[in-house]
Amino acid sequence: MSKRKAKDAQLPVGECITELQRILRERLCHQQLPDKPEGVEAQHKHLLELLKRTAVHGESNSVLIVGPRGAGKTMLLKCVLRDLLEEKEIQKNLLQVHLNGLLQTDDRIALKEITRQLHLENVVGDKVFGSFAENLAFLLEALKKGDRSSSRPVLFILDEFDLFAHHKNQTLLYNLFDVSQSAQAPIAVIGITCRLDVLELLEKRVKSRFSHRQIHLLSSLTFDQYLDQVQTQLGLPDDFPDTVFAEDWNDSIKTLCEDKSVEEVLQRHFNSSKDFRSMQMLLMLCLSRVSVAKPAIKPADLLEASRLCFGDAKANMLHGLSILELCLIIAMKHLNDVYEGEPFNLQMVHNEFKKFLQRKSSSMYNFDQPVVMKAFEHLQQLELIRLADGSSAKQQREYQLMRLMVDNSQIMEALQKYPQCPTDVKQWAMSAFG
């Protein structure tokens, strides 16, 4: 087939949409790494050199990558590791241990995870160690090569680094930094955190063993760059099987980004968060509406996706409450208005509810005390109410002081959307006094 014919070859729309969905979902859901990270070239170079010194020359290092959520800290590290592991020798020799402060909540769990990731469960067996340091030293010793002279370099990547600082005595951090400083084994400790004051959390003995190297990532993205990124994220590559479809799609995306209403939606997202993941979530919601019957993203799709992204989770939760639970929330709203936000207890809420029943003289909402108590507990489980500061969980249930975690506007919005909400309940909520 000639080149011209190959270029003009068109696939059925269904196949094009399937391939489009595959490419874009991989990019948006699996957070495909860019070929070259933009705007962080200096940080990329610095980190790559640092890790190369550990991987090639066996030099120990420690470094913190600091920046707000969504600034690209993990993306930067993954790009550096990808570039580092391009060399076969490094790939064969380098070991990685990934820990996360949200998962490894104490040093015992962290040590177990280190052992598992280094595949040393059989080596450790049933051995009993006197201390954490002894155990870690044994693990690193076990990584020595056949001639026992040189150890394999290990990268310790600590995500949510600040949470490790809350571990008892900061034993894990102390020992890792101690090993990296004393050159017992070639290791690099890389911490990822969004807390700028993270060094203040470290104990003196831990801080003295840390190299104090920090790589800062701050989002300097402008709105024009943000728009370009949206276009790039939704664009199809040049090697797409059907060039005509790809060109049409890319033109439609360009037109979409120039639409005034779309620009306003994206400006709102940009102002609330420059986080790439929230942008990808928005675009993913748009992409899910693309089908053979509708092979393009329209401004209305983006508006709907934005509405879902900015949806108030607490207000949505109120839609699923029973009438009794909704009445208790309204009673709490009136107590908040009367007592200017002071905490309340179940007894006060129940009395407020009874006042409403007496006025309506309706037997429809008559519930026994245990049923009301159960509804109150359910609201607490949903975290729509919580114990007030200083109130004890040991107190008798009826007298525990609580606070309402939704405001009046959220309650009123939920009432408008509540399916078949009784008129008298709506009127009670709207009345100035309970």
Higher pLDDT, 345 or 184: 345
Higher pLDDT, 304 or 315: 304
The reply to whether 304 and 323 lie within a common domain is: no
Domain limits at 356? 315-430
The reply to whether 61 and 190 lie within a common domain is: yes
The reply to whether 340 and 400 lie within a common domain is: yes
Tell me what pLDDT residue 274 has: 77
How much of the chain exceeds pLDDT 70, in percent? 94
Tell me what pLDDT residue 362 has: 61
Question: For residue range 131-162, what is the model confidence (pLDDT) as tens digits?
Answer: 888 888 888 888 765 444 567 889 999 999 99
- In a domain, residue 233? The reply is yes
Using the predicted structure, report yes or no on whether residue 62 has a pLDDT greater than 90.
yes
Tell me what pLDDT residue 2 has: 44
Query: For residue 204, what pLDDT band results from cuts at 50, 70 and 90?
Result: very high
Question: For residue range 231-258, what is the model confidence (pLDDT) as tens digits?
Answer: 888 888 888 888 888 899 999 999 988 8
The reply to whether 225 and 339 lie within a common domain is: no
Q: How many other C-beta atoms lie within 10 A of the C-beta of residue 5? A: 8
Question: For residue range 289-307, what is the model confidence (pLDDT) as tens digits?
Answer: 888 888 888 888 888 888 8
The reply to whether 178 and 117 lie within a common domain is: yes
Tell me what pLDDT residue 273 has: 79
Give the residue-averaged pLDDT of 395-417. Answer: 83
Give the residue-averaged pLDDT of 108-130. Answer: 84
- In a domain, residue 362? The reply is yes
The reply to whether 66 and 189 lie within a common domain is: yes
The reply to whether 120 and 182 lie within a common domain is: yes
The reply to whether 304 and 394 lie within a common domain is: no
Helix (H, G, I), strand (E, B) or coil at 368: coil
Tell me what pLDDT residue 4 has: 44
Tell me what pLDDT residue 7 has: 46
Tell me what pLDDT residue 147 has: 46
Read off φ and ψ for residue 184, nearest 5 degrees. -70, -35
Give the residue-averaged pLDDT of 206-212. Answer: 91
Give the residue-averaged pLDDT of 405-431. Answer: 83
The reply to whether 201 and 69 lie within a common domain is: yes
Tell me what pLDDT residue 6 has: 44
| Last-in-domain residue among 188, 216, 244 | 216
Tell me what pLDDT residue 429 has: 85
Tell me what pLDDT residue 393 has: 67
Total of domains in the chain: 3
Higher pLDDT, 350 or 434: 350
Using the predicted structure, report yes or no on whether residue 65 has a pLDDT greater than 80.
yes
- In a domain, residue 21? The reply is no
- In a domain, residue 180? The reply is yes
What sign does the dihedral 289-34-87-183 (CA atoms) show?
Answer: negative
Tell me what pLDDT residue 1 has: 39
Question: For residue range 342-401, what is the model confidence (pLDDT) as tens digits?
Answer: 888 888 998 888 888 888 766 667 788 889 899 999 998 888 888 887 766 677 777 888
| Apex 351 CA angle, 348 and 357, nearest 5 | 150
The reply to whether 184 and 150 lie within a common domain is: yes
Q: List the CATH number of the domain containing 81.
A: 3.40.50.300
DSSP for 297-356, written as a single string: --HHHHHHHHHHHT--HHHHHHTTS-HHHHHHHHHHHHHHHHTTT--B-HHHHHHHHHHH
Give the residue-averaged pLDDT of 158-175. Answer: 92
Element (H, E) at 390: none
| Last-in-domain residue among 251, 282, 309 | 309
Distance CA 327, CA 341 (A): 18
- In a domain, residue 349? The reply is yes
The reply to whether 323 and 418 lie within a common domain is: yes
Tell me what pLDDT residue 51 has: 92
- In a domain, residue 329? The reply is yes
- In a domain, residue 5? The reply is no
Query: For residue 5, what pLDDT band results from cuts at 50, 70 and 90?
Result: very low
Q: List the CATH number of the domain containing 331.
A: 1.10.10.10
- In a domain, residue 8? The reply is no
| Last-in-domain residue among 309, 330, 350 | 309
Distance CA 78, CA 347 (A): 55
Average pLDDT of every residue of the chain: 85
Q: How many other C-beta atoms lie within 10 A of the C-beta of residue 206? A: 22
Strands (E), 67-134: 95-100
Using the predicted structure, report yes or no on whether residue 189 has a pLDDT greater than 90.
yes
The reply to whether 195 and 210 lie within a common domain is: yes
